[in-house]
Every structure is written in C-alpha cells, then in structure tokens.
Structure 1
Amino acid sequence: MTGKGLLSVVVGNTPGARGAVVDALLRAAPRALVLAVSIEGSGEGYPTVQRFVSGADACLRDTVSRGATGDPVVILRQDLLSLRRAAGRVHVVLALPEDLDVLPFLVELWQARIGSGSLKDYYDPAPVVVGVDAASFMADLGCVHRAVRLWNGSDRGEPLTPAEVAARQVEAADAIVVPEAPQGESRQAAGVSALVGHINRHALLVAPPSAGCVGAGLPPSVVQPVPYLADDTTFVPLAPGKVLVNPEYVDVDCLPEVLNSWDVLIAPEPDPINERLLEITSMCGKWLSMNVLMIDEKRVIAERHHTGMLRALENWGFEPIPCVLLHYAPFGGSFHCATLDVRRRGTLESYVE
C-alpha cells in the first residue's frame, strides 16, 4: 500500500450474504477495521445513519459507533476521515446496507470533497465485493427480470425493488461471493452465476470461502488497492476498435497486446483556454479536451472551445457535437466526468477478450 489507507466496500442482497463477505475479508486481512452501516428512514428529511466499528480499540469505536441524522455520504466521509487520522494507514471494510443502490452512492462518496481534498487523498480503493444469497436473489424471477428497465431507457419513477437493487449491486461489483448454498439449492447458485454473466461479465465470481482456511476463496487482489487510471484524460475508448490516448501520459508502444488490432488515436495538443476565472478555479489540466461523451459509435459530445479535438474527431470518422461545459471545470471534469448513465438501451457487450 501507499501512505494512504485502504478502503474495501462490501454489500450484499441479504445481511447474511454481506456478513459472509465481511468474514472472508477479515480472514484475508485480519487487521482490518469493519465500519458497518445501516440507513433508516425514507421520504422527507434526512435518514438516521447507524454506524458501528469493530476490530478497533474502545476509544476509536466510541468515536464513530453511534447514530446520526443527515446525509449518509457526508457522515460516512467524516467517519472515514476520523479513522484515517486516528489509526494511520488503516484498512477499513465499509459494510453497506443491503437495500442500498450502491453504484451512485459510491460515485458520490469518492468524488465528494473533504475540505480541500477528496476521499482519494486519504484512501486507496480496494475492489468492491458483493455477496449474493442465491435463494433470495432467485426468489422472484419476474422481479429480477424487471431490472431490465434499469438499462432499457425507461424510467417510471418507481422505487427500485429488492431484486433490482441486488442487480445494481452485482453490476457495481469487482468480485462476487455466493455463500455456499444449503443442500438441495445448488441449482439456485447456478442460476445466480448465469444471471451474473448477463449483468456483469467482468466481475470475478469467487468460490465460497471456507471458515477453516485463512482467506480461502479470496484472491490476494481483493484486499489490494485497485490500480487507478484517470482514463477520462488518459485512455478513452471511443467505439469498438478505437481508443483515444494521451501522448504525454501513455507510451503507445507499451499498450496491452489485446489492443494490437485497435486503431490507437493520438489526442491533438489541446487549445489553450485563456480565461482568468478558469485559471483560478479550474481543478483540471490542459487535457480536458479528451473528456468527451460518446452517445453511440459515431456521435460524440465535445467541448466547443477545443477546435483541434473537434477537427481530429471528424477526421477519424466521428460526428462531434460541439457544446460548452467549461463552467464545470471547477468541479473537476467535463462531459464524461459530469455524466452517470443510469438508464441504458441495447445489450451488454464486450469488445476485448
């Protein structure tokens, strides 16, 4: 690890599934602290956020273990900062409640600012690990199949069902643990594996951990920092077989072999933005011109001021749509950073083996 702490995020579609993952992580990283969270209340006003720390000394537990009413992201961010300050290079396992739509929550947690910095200044992220109770996940296939509305472009404004929340959790996972099913329920576990392949084919499906072995079933990478790449201005896939790279940050001769058949497009030198206010307030570097948003395989939204990038996109066969979003630079990004897709059309595809 670096001088930062390490933050593992755990969630499950049932409390038991979440607990099984936490136990497995603690066998792999016995010195880790667990910050377990429940969020109670809905409708008007802020919810009550209950937090409990285990694996720490009594003083540290008393600092964080209590209830509070407010924005859960703000509360947990401050808890994590307190643990980092008190315990140094601490490994925290953040166990989130089973009814949480985890992906947008984590985006906000990591991006939200702490004073003059963000959570990334204090912690390295470990892979997101999701526990799936097969019986609960497969209990209502019709309900699970309704989760298609999450990416088919429709939005009826209805609260997510438990099965839809579970599907969203699987979509956000880097690794998925299916606790060993009771005798006679192996077909349910097989059904979960099939559904996981449709929802998130890149997640690592981990064998059920064994209580008799230290870290059994969990590869070492699950309790290690995730390699971080600021891909919005470094390495930007634009379409099947086409990737935009930053010539200052990427050695094109050292790209993975899987990209040998791809068109590697070298980003042009960005156009200078000579606005005094942006010079003072912007949190971004000059390569913000690469922070574009693909609508489909041809159409791309790009910053109007970066005429060099617009011309390059046209020369490469794309259809750029010039728009203005320079005022977003003080928040740290442009079109791609400012967008979180929560409704999708089409099917899940993979463009590399």
Structure 2
Amino acid sequence: MNSPNTDRLLNVQPERRTLDHCYTTISGAYHAVPRAALGHSDHVMVHLIPAYRQKLKLCKPVVRKFKKWTSEALEDLRACLDCTDWDFFRTATNSLDEYTEAVTSYISFCEDSCVPSSTSCTSSHQSVKLLKSADDTTLIGLISGGDESTYRWETDHLVTWCGLNNLELNALKTVEMVVDFRKNAAPPAPITVCDSPVDAVESFRFLGPIISQDLKWELSISSITKKAQQRMYFLRQLKKFNLPKTMMVHFYTAIIESILCSSITVWYAAATAKDKGRLQRIIRSAERVIGCNLPSLQDLFASRTLKRARRIVADPSHPGYDLFEPLPSGRRLRSIRTKTSRHTVSSHGQSGSLTKPGSPTDSVIPRTFPSGLSPAHPCFFI
C-alpha cells in the first residue's frame, strides 16, 4: 500500500515474483539491499541498512550547565519577584507580544541572578580521572610516592557533589581495585563511601571487558568464548535448514563475530597464545559449518585497530589525539622507551606497528602515557 507519507526504498524485478516495493514512513533513514532467499523460498529478503548516524557520534563533547535549586535560591528568587513592580511592564507597551517577551526575559534574568548554575562533576587534579557513563561512574587515581590525599579528596568531592545534586550513590555496588606491580607493597586503607567501607576486589567488569589486578585478560576472554560458543548452536541450526552460505555468513558476522571483536583492540595484543587459540578454534568451527573461509582473529584485530586509529586522528577533540606524533621524516611513527611491555601490547602501541605505507595513520604514534600513567605506579579504580 502506498501513501503520501511513505518513502519507497526498493524496486525488485516483477519476474522474480518477490515484493515489488518496500516502504517506510521515514524518508532517507534507510537504504535497502536485496539478499538471498531463505531456504527454498521464492521470495528474497530485504536488508534495511540505517543511513543515519547516531547523534552521540555526530556531536562534539560539550560542557553543559544546570541550575542548583536549593532552598536559599528559591527564597531569593521569591523575594526578587515579590518586590517587582509588574505594572511597569504592562504600561510600557500596548503590544501583547512585547509585553510577554519583556516579562519572560525579566523572569529569566531573575532566575539567572538568584539560582546558581553548576557544571557536571569533573576531577580537579591531573592524576585523577573521572569517567562517566549512563549509570556507572569510574574514578581512576595515580598514586605517586605513597601519597593518596589527592585520590581520597576526589572521592570525597564526588560523594559531596552527588549529595548536593540529589544523586544517591549505591555503596553496596561500589568496589575498589588496586593495580600495583611493586614488590612487597602494603595494602592501602579502604575507601569509605556514605559511611560504608568499599570492598576491594581483584577484578571487575568495566563496560563489557573484565579488568584484573594483573592487567591480564583470561577472565574477559573466557567470558567472550562462552558467549560465542553459545551462539554457535544457532549457526548449526541454520545449517540444518539448508540456509544459503551468504545468509549464514551474515548471521555469523552479526551474532558471533561481533562477540569475538568485543573490545578486541584492548585485550588482543596482551592475550596469551592459549587464549587466542581458544577464540580461533571458534572461527574454524564456524568455517566448517558454513563451508567458506572467514577472517582470522589477527585480521579482525588489525582492521579494527586501524579503524580506531583513523578515528582518533580525524577527531582533534579525542582524548588520545595528542598521544600520536610522527617522526620528522614523516615515514615512521614515533615510539617511546619503556621498562615493560605493557605499553607495547596496548592499542596505542599496536596501532603504530599495523600501519602501512600510504595509510591515513602513517603520521600517528603514541607518544606518552595518558595523564602521566606509568606501569611503575599503582592505580586505584573505584
């Protein structure tokens, strides 16, 4: 059925005895691609691919301000409005539009003068970073010389800011993890949040991957392997229904490969050969089920690392933009000298070794540790 408010996406040949047109109510939101038929069906599938990008990816990060409606601010605003001569605005003009605009502008002025505004909570020290997501907040502190005062001050500041802005911290779900590679290091004093001590843990899940105290990824890779093996069952079921190879490859890419590539730029270079072999066996099993070659784990890591590096280079507002610097010749990427291999196996360290002549990332290389972070110092995560 066609209507004036719909947009036609696809024309299919009538002799194929398939759907002639595909319509959507959002013009230009998708573009359609015909796919292979399911089994022995005489109807092809239509793949609608979004043609838009998320607003979060299009907009640059900005600092927003908000009003702090305290009882003192409400009393000041009430007193300001009570002592106002409103007849002055009514007699100043005969136009209703001008009268409305003058009154609303005056009320906005009184609100800006009486109600203080504040920005979102941010860290005040370079050695402490505050990372905020939808419903999680992570505080990362670099402890140098055994001085934890800055880290603890930022923790207390976060708790105070949440209390003043009507936000409640869940102390029972708050955990702390210490990353310290020093020998015979004394355990730090526990952190207190809302009069409750914070539990110290050896690992925790941070936006998907599991981070451990020793910065190893066995737990995270085990979780990825388990999820991928569970999804292999559905791929075998599709094989039983004689689904075309093209459709099975699409299913593998969307359902299984997406799990294998979860945060792969973070953990792949530091993973052991045993863990890489576990994931590669899943890919080989999928190849036997589908009956065609699939990208290896190394190829997936290389493509996604280069893609991430290109995004960082193209975005000057990215926090890692200043970590890349070319050599004066412009032919190679600058590397740094470290005592351990932790930086070499990071995503920034690997992006330099994966670049090829003529690629957009030839002129980029990690230069320093983020915010002075060095493997020789302990870090605190809460």
TM-score bucket (shorter structure)? under 0.3
Higher strand proportion (structure 1 or 2): 1
Higher relative contact order (CA 8 A, sep 6+): 1
TM-score, length basis structure 2? 0.18
Larger radius of gyration: 2
TM-score, length basis structure 1? 0.19
Higher helix proportion (structure 1 or 2): 2
